[in-house]
Structures are given as structure tokens and as C-alpha cells.
């Protein structure tokens, strides 16, 4: 998402609008008029990712977009008009609008000052752990190894490590050959090294392929095109199909009310 909207860097914000939307308007904090006052006229200095969030810096202000399940950031026509939640217009004749589109409406848009942003995302009391692509294997293990939770559930805890979602947790554990129900405190050092390595591999490859467009077709890149990583899924949404490593049938279980896919033969508990 961040890569796709990077063309907005250097543009000046002309207007921030909440398009007429048939459904309840998306959560924007603070109010939309405050957002307007603080960013209109400013210039986009950078676009960055923090965990699963998209951060747009405009002078000393950070617009943080949390897409959650069905949110998209777009520089192209949205899939529907009725789920369009936010529009940012820029200067320059050919500059497309930046759109936030969200079918389910669970996503959020929040404006932070530099200080608020640092406290929220980087300080000691930060609400997010280190980013999944920046953390070391040792720190990762240190953050998980005393937890009694199943490893797959723990990987989704954004305060432990930021950036692993439900789909990728299953993919990571299959590549690492670790059973998703294994308790964190029962995993040895080499298991955590495998999980860490698999996390880097899976996430960096998925980012390179621009994400996973599942069968519902919801996820799109910034140009409203399919992602490509769904063609590389090892286990996710493949229950009943063959394990790509050993040929055993992939199974689906539910952990913490969310689907987990794995191979019962080649994913071991330690």
C-alpha cells in the first residue's frame, strides 16, 4: 500500500473531504475539520509503514490509516462509491486523489502530531511492538518466550511484534515447520530462529508481490489491481489440499476465534 501511494510524496494538500457515503461515516480522530485545518496547504514529506498501518507525513502531522479487514488506500477509481470514506486532493493537474475505501468500515484514520506519534508508536509505553521486518531473532524470542499462549495466537499480538496478520501467521509457521498450537514457552531457541527467518521471508515476499487478493477479491493494490501473493500461499485457505512440503492434507482449526491452517505432519510442536 505504501509503495503504491508513494507518488503523493512532494505534493501539496489542497483539500481533505469526506465523500457522501451511504453508510455510517468512518472513524476519524480528531474531527474532520481539525484534520483539514492541520494538513490543508501542507506538503507530503514521506509515506511510511508502521506495522500494518500506513503513515502519511505532512509537515509535523502524521495521518495514520489503519485499513483493518477491508480498507484500501487508492490512487485509482475505488471498487464502489458507497464505501468511499476519505478523499485527499493534491495540487498538480495530473495528481490523482488519495482515497481511503473501506467496505466493512472497521478501519480508522487518525491524525497525530510528531510528539503524539512518537509516544504512540515508538516510546516505552508504545501501543505497538517493534516492526516485524526490523526486529532481531534474539529480541523476538525474548518478547515471546515466557508467554503460555499458542504461538500462532501470540504472533498476532501487535504489542509483541507489529505487522503479522492472520493469513501470514499461518504461512510463517508452515515455512518454519512449527505447530500453530505449540505454546510459546515450550519452543526452543532454534524454533524461534526459524520463526523469525520465516517471518522475514514470508512478509518481504508478500510485500514484493503486493499482498494477497483472497477469493472475496477485497484486497487491491493502490491502482485497484489484484495482489499476487495468493498464488504463493502454502496453507492459508487451502484446507483439504496437499501440503506443498510433504503432501499430507492441510487442515483448518480455529484459535482465538480465527482460522488457522497447517499441516499436521510436517509442523511439529517444538
Please say whether the beta carbons of 74 and 14 come within 8 A: no
Q: And the C-alpha cell for 34?
A: 481539525
Q: Is 231 in the site for DNA (CB under 7 A)?
A: no
Closest separation between CB of residue 233 and DNA, Å? 10
Q: From the list 229, 234, 235, 243, which residue makes contact with DNA (rule: CB under 7 A)?
A: 229
Nearest to 249 by CA among 235, 259, 263, 236: 263
Kindly write out the interface string for residues 82-111 of this chain, putting x where it contacts DNA by CB under 7 A and - elsewhere: xx-------------------xxxx-----
State which residue, 180 or 211, has the beta carbon closest to DNA. Answer: 211
Q: Which three cell numbers stand for residue 127?
A: 501501543
147 binds DNA (CB under 7 A): yes
Smallest gap from residue 15 Cβ to DNA (A): 26
Please count the residues of this chain forming the interface with DNA, following the rule CB under 7 A.
39
User: Whose Cβ is closer to DNA: residue 94's or residue 217's?
Assistant: 217
CA distance 102 to 78: 10
Is 197 one of the binding residues for DNA (CB under 7 A)? no
201 makes contact with DNA (CB under 7 A): no
The yes or no reply on residue 69 touching DNA (CB under 7 A) is yes
Q: Which of 59, 258, 108 is nearest to 170 (CA)?
A: 258
**206 near DNA (CB under 7 A):** yes
Is residue 182 within the footprint of DNA (CB under 7 A)? no
- What is the biggest distance separating any 2 CA atoms in the chain, rounded to whole angstroms? 59
Question: What is the C-alpha R_g of the chain?
Answer: 20
Burial class (CB in 10 A: 0-12, 13-18, 19+), 33: exposed
Q: Quick one: 115 or 185, whose CB is closer to DNA?
A: 185
Can residue 149 be called a binding residue for DNA (CB under 7 A)?
Answer: yes
Cell of 108: 480508522
Which cell is 93 given?
493537474
CB of 148 to DNA, least distance (A): 4
Out of 42, 227, 228, 264, which residue is the one contacting DNA (CB under 7 A)? 227
Least spacing, CB of residue 55 vs DNA, in Å: 13
Output 45 or 127, the one with its CB closest to DNA. 127
Helix crossing, 189-208 with 166-176: angle to 10°? 130
Give the span between the Cα atoms of 90 and 268, in whole angstroms.
Answer: 52
What is the sign, positive or negative, of the torsion defined by CA atoms of 84, 87, 93, 95?
negative
Binds DNA by CB under 7 A, chosen from 4, 96, 165, 180: 165
Q: What angle, rounded to 10 degrees, do the helices at 189-208 and 137-144 form?
A: 110
In the complex with DNA, the residue whose CB is nearer, 11 or 85, is: 85
Footprint on this chain of DNA (rule: CB under 7 A): 23-24, 51-52, 66, 68-69, 82-83, 103-106, 127, 147-149, 153, 156, 158, 165-168, 206, 211-216, 218-219, 227, 229, 256-259
Amino acid at each position: 500500500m505504501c509503495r503504491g501511494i508513494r507518488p503523493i510524496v512532494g505534493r501539496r494538500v489542497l483539500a481533505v473531504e469526506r465523500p457522501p457515503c451511504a453508510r455510517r461515516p468512518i472513524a476519524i480522530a480528531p474531527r474532520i475539520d481539525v484534520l483539514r485545518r492541520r494538513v490543508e496547504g501542507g506538503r507530503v514529506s514521506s509515506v511510511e509503514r508502521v506495522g500494518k498501518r500506513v503513515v502519511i507525513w505532512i509537515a509535523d502531522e502524521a495521518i495514520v490509516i489503519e485499513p483493518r479487514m477491508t480498507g484500501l488506500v487508492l490512487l485509482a477509481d475505488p471498487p464502489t462509491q458507497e464505501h468511499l470514506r476519505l478523499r485527499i486532493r493534491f495540487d498538480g493537474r495530473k495528481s490523482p486523489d488519495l482515497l481511503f475505501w473501506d467496505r466493512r468500515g472497521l478501519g480508522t484514520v487518525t491524525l497525530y502530531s510528531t510528539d503524539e506519534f512518537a509516544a504512540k508508536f515508538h516510546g516505552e509505553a508504545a501501543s505497538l511492538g517493534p516492526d516485524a521486518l526490523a526486529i532481531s531473532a534474539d529480541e523476538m524470542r525474548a518478547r515471546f518466550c515466557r508467554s503460555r499462549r499458542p504461538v500462532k495466537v501470540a504472533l498476532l499480538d501487535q504489542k509483541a511484534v507489529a505487522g503479522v496478520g492472520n493469513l501470514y501467521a499461518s504461512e510463517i509457521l508452515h515455512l518454519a515447520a512449527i505447530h500453530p498450537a505449540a505454546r510459546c514457552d515450550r519452543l526452543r531457541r532454534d524454533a524461534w530462529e526459524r520463526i523469525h527467518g520465516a517471518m522475514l521471508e514470508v512478509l518481504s515476499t508478500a510485500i514484493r508481490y503486493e499482498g494477497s487478493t483472497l477469493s472475496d477479491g477485497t484486497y487491491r493494490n493502490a491502482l485497484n489491481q489484484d495482489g499476487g501473493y495468493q498464488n504463493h500461499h502454502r496453507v492459508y485457505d487451502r484446507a483439504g489440499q496437499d501440503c506443498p512440503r510433504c503432501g499430507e492434507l492441510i487442515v483448518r482449526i480455529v484459535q482465538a476465534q480465527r482460522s488457522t491452517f497447517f499441516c499436521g505432519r510436517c509442523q511439529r510442536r517444538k
